[in-house]
Amino acid sequence: MSKIFAFSIRKDEEPYLKEWAAAHPEVEVDYTDKLLTPDTAALAKGADGVVVYQQLDYTPETLQALADLGITKMSLRNVGVDNIDMDKAKELGFEITNVPVYSPNAIAEHAAIQAARVLRQAKQMDEKMAHGDLRWAPTIGREVRDQTVGVIGTGHIGRVFMQIMEGFGAKVIAYDVFKNPELEEKGYYVDSLDDLYKQSDVVSLHVPAMKDNYHMINEETIAKMKDDAVLVNVSRGPLVDTAAVAKALDDGKLFGFVMDTYEGEVGVFNEDWTDKEFPDPLLKDLIDRPNVLVTPHTAFYTTHAVRNMVVKAFDNNLAMVEGQEPDTPVEVG
């Protein structure tokens, strides 16, 4: 009987793990809520493969500890593989999989909901209501259908975001370094980012963070945007120079900001800072602003997405354990 062991299983993942295990009675499944470290690796003893997900690095020592147990088949429940020591993984003969697409709708919906809330000044109205101010003015909304929405990156998530915004009636334009032929035929693409900035009331980022687009949203590019534009970043923190955005909000250049990802998020997001000194003054400043909606990298965090992350990771791992080609292998090395 094959055995798969999963690390750092959260409470919200447990039902989907149990669902997968029930559907695969031929596989022994065991798990822990502990992260995978050189010390905890031993928990997987006897397993043929492991299923993992953590921000913590997969160090040479961690990988060695697994390999010492004869385990070299590792399936990530997430996308990112940059915290894996690939040289060591290659040296030890690891086979690795990830889950590159688990629910584009989760992230696209979040972006759309938050953008619409900013346009509607929903946070201001909620705050007024909370202290008994039930007056309308000056908290007037802007309708989505009156906006031109500029989508940067028309991959899995960007495309769903475009559909949702069109459902609201917005005019949607897009930019991508690789044009999708179907979208191109329909005439969505503008020629340059400058064109997109110039025309858009809402600018939404759906591109990966790479060296060449570090701080692509900065003082200079914000200056190219329309007055009262709304910026949406549910992609990656390093795409945005956050201090420049704060300044543009101060100056009244930007109408609002949706931020689910933040350059300084590691070690800050997904922690409880209640009754503790808040570690990041710029982040605190943004959280406190009435026209900024901050969420701690939770755009992906839906039941649909979490189920897919667990189920797809286990499917991948079982394929490797059974000597078959997994759906989404990661290049090791």
Ligand X SMILES: NC(=O)c1ccc[n+]([C@@H]2O[C@H](COP(=O)([O-])OP(=O)(O)OC[C@H]3O[C@@H](n4cnc5c(N)ncnc54)[C@H](O)[C@@H]3O)[C@@H](O)[C@H]2O)c1
Residues that bind ligand X (CB under 6 A): 104, 107, 152-158, 175-178, 206-208, 213, 234-236, 260-261, 297, 299-300
Closest approach of Cβ 167 to ligand X, in Å?
18
**Per annotation, catalytic residue among 265, 271, 289, 304:** 265
- Report the chain's C-alpha Rg in angstroms: 22
Closest approach of Cβ 151 to ligand X, in Å?
10
Q: Which is nearer to ligand X, 156 or 215 (CB)?
A: 156
Q: Which is nearer to ligand X, 168 or 301 (CB)?
A: 301
Q: Assess whether 307 carries a catalytic annotation.
A: no
Q: Which is nearer to ligand X, 182 or 227 (CB)?
A: 182
CA atoms in the 13 A half-sphere facing the CB of 192: 5
What distance in Å separates the CA atoms of residue 94 and residue 29, rounded to the nearest whole number?
Answer: 20
Residue nearest to ligand X (CB): 155
CA angle 257, 261, 266 (to 5 degrees): 140
**Per annotation, catalytic residue among 77, 206, 297, 307:** 297
What distance in Å separates the CA atoms of residue 43 and residue 66, rounded to the nearest whole number?
Answer: 10
Q: Assess whether 142 carries a catalytic annotation.
A: no
Q: What are phi and psi of 111, to 5 degrees?
A: -60, -45
Q: Which residues pair with 83 in a beta bridge?
A: none
Q: Which is nearer to ligand X, 4 or 116 (CB)?
A: 116
CB 96 within 8 A of CB 326: no
Closest approach of Cβ 132 to ligand X, in Å?
35
| SS (HEC) of 256-317 | EEEECCCCCCCCCCCCCCCCCCCCCHHHHHHHHCCCEEECCCCCCCCHHHHHHHHHHHHHHH
Torsion of CA 237, 223, 142, 161, to 10 degrees: -40
Query: For residue 54, which of 89, 96, 82, 73 has the smallest C-alpha distance?
Result: 82
Q: Which is nearer to ligand X, 115 or 207 (CB)?
A: 207
Q: What are phi and psi of 213, to 5 degrees?
A: -120, 20
Closest approach of Cβ 261 to ligand X, in Å?
5
Closest approach of Cβ 61 to ligand X, in Å?
28
Torsion of CA 32, 34, 36, 40, to 10 degrees: -80
Closest approach of Cβ 78 to ligand X, in Å?
9
Task: Work out whether strand 95-97 and strand 329-330 pair parallel, antiparallel, or are unpaired.
Answer: antiparallel
**Per annotation, catalytic residue among 110, 236, 263, 307:** 236
Amino acid at 239: L
What distance in Å separates the CA atoms of residue 96 and residue 77, rounded to the nearest whole number?
Answer: 11
Q: Which is nearer to ligand X, 142 or 206 (CB)?
A: 206
Q: Which is nearer to ligand X, 150 or 256 (CB)?
A: 150
Q: What are phi and psi of 28, to 5 degrees?
A: -85, 125
Closest approach of Cβ 298 to ligand X, in Å?
7
Q: Assess whether 265 carries a catalytic annotation.
A: yes
Active site residues per annotation: 236, 265, 297
